[in-house]
Amino acid sequence: MKATITGGGIGGLTTAIALRQKGIEVEIFEAANEFKMAGSGITLAINAIQIYQRLGLSEKLQQAGNRLDGIQICNQKLKVLSTANISSLNKLYKVQTIAIHRATLHKILLDELKDCPIHMAKQLKTLNQQKGKINLEFEDGTKHQCDLLIGADGIHSVVRRSIFTDTVERYAKQLCWRGIADFDLGKDYHFMAREAWAPGSRIGIVPIGPNTVYWYACKTYRDSADEVKDKLSEFAATYPPFVGRLLSATKKENIIVAELGDLQPIAEWYKGNICLMGDAAHATTPNMGQGANQAIESAWVLSECLSEEKDLTKAFAKYQKMRQAKAVSVVNTSWKIGKMAQLSNPIFTSLRNTLVRMTPEYFSLKQLKNMVELKY
């Protein structure tokens, strides 16, 4: 069996590593000309780290990333509303939740694939399935034929749109800036992630290394992202001056701006010899920091199913059965959290903050435990 994967993101690369470790040959086609050292970080929770442990990568990741012991939700003045102390979960599962530079994560994954064919600048344009074969055509006019295709080409997946015509990408009406700054948060915050909520906006502050901070700033808009896209300084002024200093410590050219959205859950993740994974199958808003974590879980389960079951339809059906409920639950819960976190009405925001303050820590930890536990 040989698998063709479109998309060399976290999902596609992790799938490739998992498949190759099970003796399945892989070829990857990636749209970008090169893997850029994007200025953004990512949190890998216990679920992802456990998968990477099975793939023999957890130690490398834990050394290259920054351990997180807790997550705090704060109000606009950065006063703590709630703390989830995740070190107890880290201990329970004997791994660490980490925050890491995306470029570092990508490099670690690519290092595992040194002898795997990865074709860059191959943006998939069209595909068709005929007599058990899949014919791919790329934007540069080149073609490729394969027997098994894994669509790991992200939320706007061409693979998904080619096999299912009625899928819906939803916009959350939030613009998100992301950046990485050299900044010392102080010793109390070297291993603590924080998210502060103001009416209609929020900021996340995540240490990814000694004096290196990944931040994300989200702002709700009414009709169009143009309303807020030049308003990062105004955004910073909503919070204590420390936020302005953090944002100013970031090189402008390294700030990434994107609209937040997700994929409305879809009923089927496969058709014929083609299967979707990661954001192509279950893109979520980032409010739970689980998009890539879920992609990594899907990568593992898909590789297991393909190595155990030679009949592709049976393998894909098993993969979907094992993964869909959890991934969809993340998508739906994250969507609701996004709405709550970005409330604009001061009365509702005050009520929400009171509720968050009163929620016992054991309740948050129980929910987190359900999220990170692997049932496969």
Ligand X SMILES: Cc1cc2nc3c(=O)[nH]c(=O)nc-3n(C[C@H](O)[C@H](O)[C@H](O)COP(=O)(O)OP(=O)(O)OC[C@H]3O[C@@H](n4cnc5c(N)ncnc54)[C@H](O)[C@@H]3O)c2cc1C
Question: What residue ranges bind ligand X (CB under 6 A)?
Answer: 6-12, 29-32, 42-43, 122-124, 152-154, 158, 176, 178, 216, 258, 278-279, 286, 289-293, 295
Output the smallest distance, CB 322 to ligand X, in A: 17
In the complex with ligand X, which residue's Cβ is closer, 195 or 279? 279
Q: Give the shortest CB-172-to-ligand X separation in angstroms.
A: 10
**Is the CB of residue 255 less than 8 Å from the CB of residue 10?**
no
Least Å from the CB of residue 326 to ligand X? 13
φ, ψ (nearest 5 deg) of residue 74 = -125, 165
Q: Which is nearer to ligand X, 78 or 258 (CB)?
A: 258
- Nearest residue (CB) to ligand X, 41 versus 312: 41
Q: Cβ closer to ligand X: 140 or 345? A: 140
Measured CA to CA, the distance from residue 116 to residue 37 in angstroms comes to: 21
Question: Is the CB of residue 50 less than 8 Å from the CB of residue 374?
Answer: yes
Residue number with CB closer to ligand X (42 or 312): 42
Q: Which is nearer to ligand X, 47 or 76 (CB)?
A: 47
CB of 207 to ligand X, least distance (A): 13
**Beta bridge partner(s), residue 133:** 130
Q: To the nearest whole angstrom, how small is the minimum distance from the Cβ of residue 125 to ligand X?
A: 7
Q: Please, what is the minimum distance in Å from the beta carbon of residue 347 to ligand X?
A: 28
> Under a CB-based contact definition with an 8 Å cutoff, are residues 64 and 104 in contact?
yes
> Which residues pair with residue 119 across a beta bridge?
29
